[in-house]
């Protein structure tokens, strides 16, 4: 092969590869999206009155995974959340409200699920008679800008477990991180209350998860 034809052939192969590189799509790289949800006090009043810091049973004097909020008998208990995501979608999941009563103790469980239906665990609302929505409500978001969501999950019950006066015992479960802003049981009891905050102020607990997309 002459030097001329060799150069012409090499030029053709190079040009063909260049065109193919432009026309054929390259492999997309996965993007990680982050979802944020904070659980707010479920009390129905405009101001959340904390009557016992982080505890399991308030009178036991030990710390735990729940906070007590002042709520009168038959008053509504709410799912309240503040949520956002880096994906830019307008909702981050849905909540399934379930009755988890045990004997004379009323318990409502609100399970948070991702947009793909994966369970992210939930929040227990004790001393609360369940009010189950006809369909699982959306937990709203607005891209990176947080949006509040609230709906009724039940109502407070007086003399619950045949012992306790009406109040909301709101308990986080394993995947939720508790807000250490609130005091522990050791520095707060149910005699006089210990914390007054706007219901959309410091959150009760928070949860974060990640999902991949393109």
Question: Total structural domains in the chain?
Answer: 1
| 3 in any annotated domain | no
Q: Quick one: how far is CA 146 from the chain centroid? A: 12
Q: Is 48 exposed, middle or buried (0-12, 13-18, 19+ CB in 10 A)?
A: buried
Give me the domain span that covers residue 120: 31-208
| 124 in any annotated domain | yes
What pLDDT, on a 0 to 100 scale, did the predictor assign at position 158?
A: 95
User: What are phi and psi for residue 186, nearest 5 degrees?
Assistant: -65, -25
Q: Please answer whether residues 41 and 79 qualify as being in contact, where contact means their C-beta atoms are separated by less than 8 angstroms.
A: no
Q: Please answer whether residues 94 and 134 qualify as being in contact, where contact means their C-beta atoms are separated by less than 8 angstroms.
A: no
Q: How far is residue 119's CA from residue 121's CA, in Å, rounded to a whole number?
A: 5
| 13 in any annotated domain | no
What pLDDT, on a 0 to 100 scale, did the predictor assign at position 139?
A: 95
What pLDDT, on a 0 to 100 scale, did the predictor assign at position 87?
A: 86
CA-wise closest residue to 159 among 124, 127, 126: 127
Looking at the DSSP bridge assignments, the partners of residue 188 are none
CA-wise closest residue to 99 among 127, 78, 130: 130
| 49 in any annotated domain | yes
| 187 in any annotated domain | yes
| 89 in any annotated domain | yes
pLDDT means per 10 residues, the chain with 214 residues, are 47 45 51 92 82 86 89 95 91 96 96 93 97 94 89 96 93 94 77 63 92 73
Cβ neighbour number for residue 41 with a 10 Å cutoff: 28
| 21 in any annotated domain | no
| 20 in any annotated domain | no
């Amino acid at each position: 092969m002459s030097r001329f034809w060799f150069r012409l052939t090499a030029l053709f192969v190079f040009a063909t590869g260049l065109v193919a590189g432009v026309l054929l799509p390259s492999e997309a790289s996965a993007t990680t999206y982050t979802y944020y949800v904070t659980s707010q006090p479920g009390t129905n009043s405009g101001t959340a009155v904390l009557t016992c810091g982080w505890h399991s049973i308030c009178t036991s004097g030990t710390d735990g995974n729940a906070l007590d909020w002042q709520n009168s008998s038959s008053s509504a208990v709410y799912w309240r959340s503040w949520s956002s995501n880096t994906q830019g979608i307008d909702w981050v999941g849905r909540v399934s409200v379930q009755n988890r009563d045990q004997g004379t103790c009323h318990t409502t469980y609100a399970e948070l699920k991702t947009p793909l239906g994966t369970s992210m665990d939930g929040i227990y609302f004790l001393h609360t008679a369940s009010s189950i929505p006809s369909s699982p409500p959306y937990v709203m978001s607005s891209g990176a800008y947080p949006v509040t969501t609230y709906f009724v999950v039940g109502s407070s019950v007086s003399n619950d477990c045949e012992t306790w006066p009406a109040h909301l015992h709101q308990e986080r479960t394993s995947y939720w991180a508790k807000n250490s802003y609130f005091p522990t049981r050791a520095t707060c009891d149910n005699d006089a209350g210990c914390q007054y905050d706007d219901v959309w102020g410091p959150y009760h607990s928070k949860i974060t998860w990640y999902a991949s997309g393109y």
